Each structure stands twice: as structure tokens, then as C-alpha cells.
Amino acid sequence: MEKNIALVLVLAPFFGFLFNVFFGKKAGKTLVGLVGTASVLVSFLSTLFFFSALNANPSQPVVVDLFQWISLEKFNVNFSFLLDQLSVLWLLFVTGIGTLIHLYSISYMHDDENMNKFFAYLNLFVFFMIMLVMGSNLVILFIGWEGVGLCSYLLIGFWYKNQDYNDAAKKAFIMNRIGDLGLLVGLFIVAYVFGSLDYKVISEGAYNTQLVSNNSGLIALAALCLFIGATGKSAQIPLYTWLPDAMAGPTPVSALIHAATMVTAGIFMVTRMHFLFDLAPQILDLIAIVGAATAVLAASIGLVQNDIKKVLAYSTVSQLGLMFLALGLGAYEIAVFHVITHAFFKACLFLGSGSVIHALHGEQDMRNMGGLRKVMPITFWTMMISTLAISGIFPLSGFWSKDEILLTAFHSNIPLWIVGSIASIMTAFYMFRLMYLTFFGEFRGTEEQKHHLHESPALITFPLIVLAILAAVGGLISLPGNSWLNHYLAPLFRKAHEAHHLDATAYALMAVATVGALIGIGIAYSKYIKKQEVPVQDAEMKGFASVLYHKYYVDEAYDVVVVTPLKKLSHFFRNYFEVAFSETVFAFGKIANAIGTQGKVLQNGSVGFYLLAFVIGMASILVYLFLV
């Protein structure tokens, strides 16, 4: 029973993928959208079943053993799924938000000639994401990990006729591959140290003090390698540059893959392997520092971007940084909390921006927007709620999760708290900058665009409304003092993480965070509402703003440090080694050719000659055998 439902949960999106690949063109757009959405909805409903089963019996996670996959003498990998608190929670929002975004895509992608391909990729992505989350060992996680990377690549380059988009897709794929190598090496080390890749076995090994003290160096190395894998997938320094470029994909993709689900895979993996990271406090410190640095770096770049999706992309990187900050401080459930609230409000923001782009027929530059508040009220209000949530305004979801992270940081490391708070203030500023430039003031686009402005159809606004509600009330799952989430995740962690008590410090920090957010909003208000400023054209930018606008020239730096030397090296190999090797190989060919030219004289076609040669040969053999 449970096994069958688990199989339905995994295979429904895969079925949707197969259907859309093989019959999508014939089936017509309505059926494609319907099957694509329904398959994810089926997964969501199956997840609900497991969720209720798990709530009834928290200490009994469901394990579904399918078959033994790799069987060696001392090393086994089972193809099995584990449905415990963490994976069910992840599945809930992956399939739940996935369903909403599929629904949204039916309308958003309706005019695209390759709609069936789009839904096929999206279904395939959900399938791999479920594999990633549900696997009971790191190998299955790795399958999903690579699979979602592939789907991300396919969807970023979905409009493959634009070469820039193809380049962005390749960049995402290559950056992810660098991280994946780290993950793979981490897997090997874990397998070497613990003799298994099964979460249960590893966690038991991690509490075996003998084993741990003998291998502490290797365990730290494994944690580092796994973290490198996470930096690739979850866009942290130094591998974050692919995520803003990934906005080349259609907007639903940005919402689903590059904001709500796939990029949180790194956080999922770290939380999953928390017992390993707990053994390597120095790596946890590194994670916290990288997270905080990413949060503030990406937020500062987001301050001056003019592409509506780029702002949201940098915002995503920044929020992921905050989650890693929480992970690095050992507050895994808080990171999970922020993952969930972030999934709500960021998906809503992306879908809202998609609605805006849709209304403006592909315009993404905020300098050409403005005044959309009256034309698109639903989009405006849903985005406004999400913006307030991400800025950390009481009592919306982002306030609670961000506040928990900052509170944790404050208790363990003041500098990290300061960095995190600065990132939060910046977040409030650039999000309201986005809102003011897009929805307030006068419309700055062309007359023709103004003529066509419209609110999006119900299929687009419905997911927005649902997500906005979730973004508003999502914080309820983990209120300080009485946290349902902490209680729910408790069986996962051996040492219980107590929710922060509501003491004076907590209230003071909440006040500080709120004031910080209000300051950010205030600056944005005075710049873009009072003074009616519009960001200057690219060429007129100067000073630090220009540096920010060009993303600290990180791409250029990578180009100089990595890409150019690599190209030089390959040119060197092509011009010298390649020539040397191929000349050597050609020389053998030439020798054979020369021998052949001489030898073909013997092949003169006269049968008499052949016979003579044959007889002489035989005679000489006889002479040799008997007379010599």
C-alpha cells in the first residue's frame, strides 16, 4: 500500500513527462497542460497521504525498499526511498508549489509553439526533484541532483534560438558540474569512511565516537566537499554567478527551479547530512561565513539592477546566503523554515514579475515600467504582500524566519548578525525599489504597450493569490516560543533544538530588524516616490554604482582568472601537442603506405607467376626443413 503510493508519488510526473514527450504535439495544448499539472497534483496528494501518516506516527518514517541496486562484497546501495519528516516537508512544498506553477504555465506558455516540450521538461524536473528528496541514500540523491541540473539546463535554454540564452544554460550547467564534482568526491569519502551511503548507516556511524575520532580529518574533508556541491546547486560564493544568468529561462522556470525548489537542494542536502556537518565545526563556520558573505554581496548587487528578474535573482542568491548562514550556525530547522517561507514569497514574486512581463509583452527593464498598480491590481497586491514578507515586516512569514536566523546569529556571532542585518536592510530597499519602479508613478513604456496593458487571466492570478496567502501566513508554522516546525522536525535531530524564547533580546532584535527594514523601505520611498527618480541609462552610470551594476566584475574576473588561461592552455595543446601526436600517428601511416607501394608490384595479376611463387616457396620450405 505505502509502497504503491510512494511509486505513484515518484512516477506520476515521469508519466507526465513521457506523455508530453511522445504525444504532446498531437494531444494539443489544453491536454498537455492538463496532464502536466495533474501529474504533479497527484504527487502532491500522495505526499499529503504520507504527511498525515507521519503525523499520526512521528517516530516511524516510511522506508520503501524497491530493489538492491549495487551489490559489492562490503558495499551495498539499495534503490529505496525514505519518507521521513524532512523529505515529506520538502515534497509538500516542491509538489505543492510545483502544481501552482504548472497551473500558471498553462496560461503563461500558451502562445509558445513548444508548449509540450516545456511541460515535459517541467514534469521531468519535478520527477528528479522528488528523487533527490526521497532517496534513502546519497546515490539516489545524486541521481536527482544531476537530473534537476539537466532540467535546469534544458529550461534555461528553452528559447534556444537566442544564443545568449544558450550561453546562460551552458554557464549554469558548467558551474553546477564544478559543484557536482565536489559532491561526488564527498560521496566517495563518506562511502570510504562509513562503508555505506545510506543516511541511516551514516548517522549511526556519525555517533560512533571511535569511528569518528579515527577519521576526523576525512570527515571534515567530506563535509567540505559536500558543501562545495551545495555552493554549486544553491548558488553560493564562489559558484553563484550562474543563477542570475539563469533568468534567461521562461519565468515559471525561474520561479519553480531557480527560486523555490532546485536551488534549495543544497540546503536540503546539508540538513540531511547534518550529523556529518556537526562533526566538522570548522566547516560549519566556513558555511556560515560564506552564507553571510553571499547574502550581503548578492543583496548589494541587487540594489542597482534594472532587469526585474535580475533583481529577484540576486535576491534569491542573497536569501539562500541567509539560509546557509543559519545552517552554518547549526540551526538547521531555522534554515528549513526560511526555505519554506522563501519558497512561498519568492515563487509569488517571480510569478508576479512574470505576470508583469506578460502584460508588457516581454519587457523586463524596470526603467520602462511604472504605474502598473491600477491596471494590474491582483498582481500588485499579491506582489506587495510578498515584498512585505521578504522585507521582514511583521507579521508576514519572512519576518519570522529571517528574524529567527538573525536571532541565532546574534547569539553565536555578532559580526555575522551585523552582516545579515545589512543584507536584510538592502533586501527591503531593493524590493521596494522594484515595487515603486514597476507599480508606482507614471508608465514609462511605449504608447503601444500602454494601450495593451491588462491584468493577467485567472490561471495566472490564482496561483499568485494562493502563494500570497501562504507568504502572509506561512510564518505560523514556526512562531517563536511555540514552534510547530521544531516539534515536527524533532525526530530528525538527535539533540533537540529548542526554539528561542521570547526574552528581551528577542524583542529588541525584532524591533531592530523591523526598524532596519523600515529604513530600507524609507530610502526607497524617498528616492523613487518622492523624487521620482528613474535609474540612469547603463552608459551614464559611474562610481561604485557602476561597479555594483556590473556585479563587482566577478564574471569578468572569472573570465580572466579561469576562462582565458584555460583557453590559452587548450590553444597551446592544440598547436603543439596535437600536432606532435598527430604527426607521429601519420608517420606510421606513411610507412605502411610506402611498403604497400613497393609490395603491390608482386600483385601483377598473372596466375602463372603466383603459382611459380607458390611452388618456389614450398620448395624452399622443404629444402629448409630437410636439407639445412
Partner 1 sequence: MENILQAIGIENYIFLSVMLFCIGAFGVLYRRNAIIMFMSIEIMLNAVNLLLVAFSTLHQDAEGQVFVFFSMAVAAAEVAVGLAILVSIFRNTGSIDIDNLKNLKG
**Binding region for partner 1 (CB under 8 A):** 600-608, 611-612, 615
Taking the complex as a whole, the smallest distance from the CB of residue 620 to partner 1 amounts, in Å, to: 14
> By the 8 A CB rule, do 70 and 77 touch?
yes
- What is the rounded distance in angstroms from the CA atom of residue 394 to the CA atom of residue 40? 33
List all residues 6 or more positions away from 493 whose beta carbon is below 8 Å from its beta carbon.
274, 332, 333
| Residue with the three cell numbers 541514500 | 137
Closest to partner 1 by CB, 557 vs 595, is: 595
Closest to partner 1 by CB, 174 vs 613, is: 613
Taking the complex as a whole, the smallest distance from the CB of residue 599 to partner 1 amounts, in Å, to: 8
Taking the complex as a whole, the smallest distance from the CB of residue 628 to partner 1 amounts, in Å, to: 20
How big is the CA angle at 347 (ends 343 and 351), to the nearest 5 degrees? 175
Q: Sign of the C-alpha dihedral, residues 540, 543, 548, 554? A: positive
Taking the complex as a whole, the smallest distance from the CB of residue 146 to partner 1 amounts, in Å, to: 55
Closest to partner 1 by CB, 589 vs 608, is: 608
Taking the complex as a whole, the smallest distance from the CB of residue 75 to partner 1 amounts, in Å, to: 59
Taking the complex as a whole, the smallest distance from the CB of residue 605 to partner 1 amounts, in Å, to: 3
Map residue 272 onto helix, strand or coil. Answer: helix
Closest to partner 1 by CB, 587 vs 622, is: 622
Closest to partner 1 by CB, 1 vs 607, is: 607
Taking the complex as a whole, the smallest distance from the CB of residue 594 to partner 1 amounts, in Å, to: 15
Closest to partner 1 by CB, 502 vs 611, is: 611
- What is the rounded distance in angstroms from the CA atom of residue 617 to the CA atom of residue 105? 82
Closest to partner 1 by CB, 72 vs 607, is: 607
Closest to partner 1 by CB, 543 vs 596, is: 596
Q: How many residues does the chain have?
A: 628
> By the 8 A CB rule, do 155 and 257 touch?
yes
| Residue with the three cell numbers 504532446 | 24
- What is the rounded distance in angstroms from the CA atom of residue 252 to the CA atom of residue 244? 15
Q: Are strands 62-71 and 76-83 parallel, antiparallel or unpaired?
A: antiparallel
Q: Which three cell numbers stand for residue 153?
A: 539546463
Q: Which three cell numbers stand for residue 295?
A: 547574502
- What is the rounded distance in angstroms from the CA atom of residue 533 to the CA atom of residue 536? 9
User: What angle do helix axes 281-302 and 414-439 make, rounded to 10 degrees?
Assistant: 30
> By the 8 A CB rule, do 64 and 148 touch?
no
Taking the complex as a whole, the smallest distance from the CB of residue 625 to partner 1 amounts, in Å, to: 16
